[in-house]
Each structure stands twice: as C-alpha cells, then as structure tokens.
Amino acid sequence: MKSPLKSNIHFNCLYELKKILKPKDKISSFFLRDGVIETSLSDYGCMLISHTNKIPIFELWSAILQDSYNLAQGIEIILPIIDEEQFMVFQESWFMNPNLRSRNVLFYILLMCSDSGYASIGKMNKERLAPTLISKLKNYKVNNFFPSFDDCNYQLESLSTAKETDYVLLPIGDYSLNLFEAGKNKGPEMYTFNHKEIHARVKDLDKKCILLYKNHPALFNLYKSFNIKMVDKYGRLSSDKESCEDLIITNFWTCLIRTNDKNQLFIG
C-alpha cells in the first residue's frame, strides 16, 4: 500500500529500480524517511528491513503500522485548531512532548503541512493534508515492510548489521556539500549526509548496494568506478548527463541477455 507520508524528494526511478530487483528479494534499506520507495518495493513483493537512527521517524512509523486509526483520530482533533503561530512554536518543540501519541500526532501534522517537507522547518500549508489522506491513514496496512531503529549517532555505522540480505538500499536524494549545510537549522528527524564517507563505506561493502540520488555532476566523478543508470523525469533510462533526473548507482553490474525466446537478467 502506498506510503501515507509525503516525500520531500520525488524519485522517478522506481520502474527501473524494480528491473534490478525481483519479488521475495530481501532488502536492507537505510535512512528511512517517508517510506515511499520502501513501501512501493514491499508492494512489489520484496522484504524490506528499513533502518533509521532517528527516534521520531521510528516512533511515527511504529504508530502508523500498529494503530493508524488511533493516530488519525488524534490528527483530526488537533489539525483544525493549529494556526500559523502555533505551527511555528510546535516546530521547535514537538519532539520534546512527553506523550508518545501527542508527539506522533504533532510530527505527522508538521511533516505533512510544512511546505519544506520537513517537520521542523518550513511554512504551514494545511491544504497539503487533505481529509482523504487522513481517512486513508485510518485503515493503512502494508506487508513486508519492517522499520528498524539503530541506536547509533551516524546511520552508516549500522551497515554492518545487514548480513542476511540480498541488497543494501540507500535512497539518499539530493547531493549537497556539507559546507553549505553549516549554520542551517536541523530538526531531530533530518539526516546529514557525508557523501564521501558514503562512497567509502559502499566501496568496501561486501553486499550488493543500490544508491538512489537526484542528478548532480559531482556524482559521476565520485562514483566513476560504479555502475550508474540515468533516469529522466518520465522514469525512462537516459543517456543525457545534464537532463536526467535520477541516478541509480550500484556496486555491481546488470545486463539483459536474450536467450532463445525470452530475456533473462544477469547480475554480476
């Protein structure tokens, strides 16, 4: 079932990603956020263990999967009475609320109503959270999707836990230099990515790894020894480095070989 959370990073590469995978593959994904990619792959038939070291993200997903009706009821009560001033106050304090249900309700509202796609920053736009989304949340069910909390300071520290898995999936999103992130406010739900360290970890990883990035010219040099598939805004493979939207980067190679009257995918 489609994720009940909105993505602040829209990937167009899901169709091409599914060509690499097959149903029943076990995938360990990291940097869990909105779960859009992860739940789509679970609907495809893959088994997803989705890791996060962000307690609020794990708590919210646990509430969604275990008692979405109760969560939705709380949202229906609180959403109508929040104004712009209260919204800004909650952005600075929601994660300190001692009540777990209230904390999850506030997190969901802030996340869905912020024009930034993040709970802790952005301006309020209640139109982003339509009543139909809350109604769908009440009966939300998804199979083969299991959030996992990693008690570590940096998410990549838990890569070693992905032992019995077919693939490691890292849906990173935007590439940005850390020096441009300095001084920016970051909430407890937001990740900081060190792209050179991610590359170093993946380079030495003894598992098949898939990274998902939005296009950036620096990535072609950083991952020059990797297999890079470019995907355009329509979800089709592209050969244009400048106009492609997404990059699927793998530490293994795939090829489509025709044998007799059918195509077979070989991964090496």
Q: How confident is the model at residue 120 (pLDDT cuts 50, 70, 90)?
A: very high
Instruction: Say if residue 254's pLDDT is above 80.
Output: no
What pLDDT sits at residue 263? 41
Alpha-carbon span 28 to 202, nearest angstrom: 14
Residues 140-160: tens digit of each pLDDT: 999 999 999 999 988 888 888
What rounded mean pLDDT belongs to the chain? Answer: 91
Q: Which CATH class is domain 14-53+143-267?
A: alpha beta
Distances (CA, A) of 223 to 229, 240, 247, 251: 11, 17, 11, 9
- Using CA atoms in the order 127, 129, 214, 33, what is the torsion angle rounded to 10 degrees? 150
Residues 6+ apart with CB under 8 A from 39: 1, 2, 3, 48, 142, 145
Q: Where in the chain are the domains?
A: 14-53+143-267, 60-138
Residues 197-241: tens digit of each pLDDT: 999 999 989 999 999 999 999 999 999 999 999 999 999 999 999
**H-state helical runs in 139-237:** 178-181, 195-203, 217-222
What pLDDT sits at residue 163? 80
Q: What percent of the chain has pLDDT over 90?
A: 81
Instruction: Say if residue 13's pLDDT is above 70.
Output: yes
For the entire predicted model, the pTM comes to 0.90
